Chains A and B, each alone.
Chain A
Amino acid sequence: MLAIGRCLMGNPELIMFDEPSLGLAPLVVQEVLHTIRTLNANGITVLLVEQNVAVSLKISNHAYVLENGSVVMSGPGKDLLHDDRVRQAFLGL
């Protein structure tokens, strides 16, 4: 939360989050995601980079899948969440 607070002190219009869930307990991850959604509801645009694919696709309007430095897929987050290729590659389903 301190890192997010420090970023907000700069009065940003767009925030890029690099792996905000990395190394955090599941409950803290939920808290961070709630904060990201609140900031977005307050008008801040968000670019969210995450390995936690399920979580990030759920909260995003749109998403891009990167593989070996290239965009291999893109679309609304909720659509990608139900895409068989994404489910097999990242969600183990």
Chain B
Amino acid sequence: MSAFLRVEKLDLYYGDAQALARVSLEVPKGEIVAIVGANGAGKSSLIRAIAGIEKPRCGKIQFENKDISGLEPHQICNLGIGQVAEGRQVFPSLSVEENLEMGGLLRRARAAAKRKMGEVYAMFPQLAERRTSSPARCRAASSRCSRSAAA
């Protein structure tokens, strides 16, 4: 199977400190590929480099055979690469629905945002029930739900 996402010989530095050294990997279309390692191994740096948040010193990143090295994060998102960041990073001052709307602002997603919102609510009914609540209330309800399931 051909690579959907391909990383070739990526080097990333924070100042003089090298975070990634000649990292190469392939993610075939339709698969789940895991990157594992201890704290500080470079896992999050790799994701941030692919997302365009960090700029590698050298190496190449290709998505669907297109070189995306050097593109800005919003351009990379618009190509169809999404990210669920560490710590989840939702907007605490916005409601659940407003948080979802933020995700639908991408150019590639705007036309289908309403339909997509319906799909997301169908997949996560707990979000639909709390659409006007803050994310913190949603998280508390989710933990309560899990504790009751465990009891």
Task: List residues of chain A with CB under 8 Å of any chain B CB.
Answer: 1-20, 22-23, 25, 27-28, 31, 35-38, 40, 43, 45-51, 53, 56-57, 59-71, 74, 77, 80, 89-90
C-alpha gap A25/B33 in the complex (Å) = 23
**Closest A residue, CB atoms, query B63:** A14
B90 touches A25 (CB 8 A): no
Given A14-B27, A19-B86, do A63 and B34 touch, yes or no (CB 8 Å)?
Answer: yes
Counting from the closest, the 9 A-B pairs by CB-CB distance are A9-B103, A12-B82, A6-B103, A66-B37, A60-B34, A13-B80, A3-B88, A27-B146, A9-B104
Given A8-B103, A10-B108, do A69 and B21 touch, yes or no (CB 8 Å)?
Answer: yes
Given A7-B103, A28-B143, do A40 and B42 touch, yes or no (CB 8 Å)?
Answer: no
Can you spell out 20 A-B residue pairs with CB atoms less than 8 angstroms apart? A1-B126, A6-B99, A7-B82, A9-B101, A10-B103, A11-B116, A13-B80, A16-B81, A16-B83, A19-B87, A27-B146, A48-B35, A49-B46, A50-B36, A50-B43, A65-B36, A66-B41, A68-B42, A69-B45, A71-B23
Given A5-B120, A10-B103, do A31 and B146 touch, yes or no (CB 8 Å)?
Answer: yes
Task: List residues of chain B with CB under 8 Å of any chain A CB.
Answer: 4-5, 12, 18-25, 27-47, 50-51, 63, 77, 80-90, 96, 99-104, 106, 108-109, 112-113, 116-117, 119-120, 123-124, 126-127, 135, 138-139, 142-143, 146-147, 149-150
Given A11-B109, A28-B146, do A18 and B138 touch, yes or no (CB 8 Å)?
Answer: no
B86 touches A2 (CB 8 A): no
- For A77, list chain B residues within 8 Å (CB): 32, 34
Given A9-B113, A9-B116, A14-B81, do A70 and B88 touch, yes or no (CB 8 Å)?
Answer: no
A69 touches B63 (CB 8 A): no
Given A3-B88, A10-B108, A19-B86, do A57 and B47 touch, yes or no (CB 8 Å)?
Answer: no
B84 touches A61 (CB 8 A): no
- For B101, list chain A residues within 8 Å (CB): 9
- For A20, list chain B residues within 8 Å (CB): 84
Q: A2-B135, A10-B108 are in contact. List 18 more A-B contacts (CB 8 A).
A: A9-B109, A10-B103, A11-B108, A15-B84, A16-B83, A17-B83, A22-B86, A35-B123, A45-B30, A62-B33, A64-B33, A66-B36, A66-B37, A67-B38, A68-B41, A69-B18, A69-B45, A74-B25
